[in-house]
Amino acid sequence: MLKIMGSILVFAAAAGMAGTYKRELADHLALLYALRKLLVDLSCYGNGTRQPVEVLLGCFVRTPDERLNEICRKIADCLIEKNEKNGEQVWKRVFEEYRKKLCLTGEESVLIGEAGGALFGRSEEENHRRLTLILEQLDDRIKTVRGELGEKQKIYATVSMVMGGMLVILLI
């Protein structure tokens, strides 16, 4: 009876740990896709409507991730209050504040911070060029995370096999 309970605990722990890691990576990948969509939407709405970024962030742009919507509202509020003169600084500051909540790596944080410069640049051509480069870098990062997700799934399958072997040994 004790062996059975022990094997159930080992199996449950392995399955729970694997599920948690897989879910975290999938959530991170979804966040990167939402960030990419946010940047593309801001660019499209900005070129199409000619509205200022604070209006776009406050009214037009919505993402599936509620954390990003909260960040957009905070950036819009700071820009409307005009406490800081530079929109790029507001963008970087707010995303740096929310970095841990979003679970962004250092590279991703720098990349998203640079996106603020692409939205608040001096000319439309410069903004478009910078945003295109940032979107390409973000696409590369998404490919890397997708590769990590595939590798982790292989590792989880191996761990499950090892745990199954341990269960057999415990039952014998």
Tell me the C-alpha distance between 61 and 42, whole Å: 7
pLDDT tens-digit profile of 36-61?
988 888 887 777 667 777 777 777 77
Q: Show the CA angle centred on residue 86, arms to residues 81 and 88, nearest 5°.
A: 110
Burial annotation 4-22 (CB, 10 A radius, 16+ → b, else e): eeebeeebeebeeebeebe
Q: What is the pTM of this model?
A: 0.79
> Can you give the pLDDT at residue 122?
77
Q: How far apart are the first and last CA of the chain?
A: 12
Kindly give the interhelix angle for 106-119 and 2-49, rounded to the nearest 10 degrees.
20
The stretch 69-82 carries a mean pLDDT of: 85
Question: What is the percentage of the chain residues whose pLDDT exceeds 90?
Answer: 9
The domain ranges of the chain are 2-171
**Helix runs in 50-65, H state only:** 53-55
Residues 89-144 have pLDDT tens digits of 888 888 888 888 888 888 888 888 888 878 877 778 888 888 889 999 999 999 99
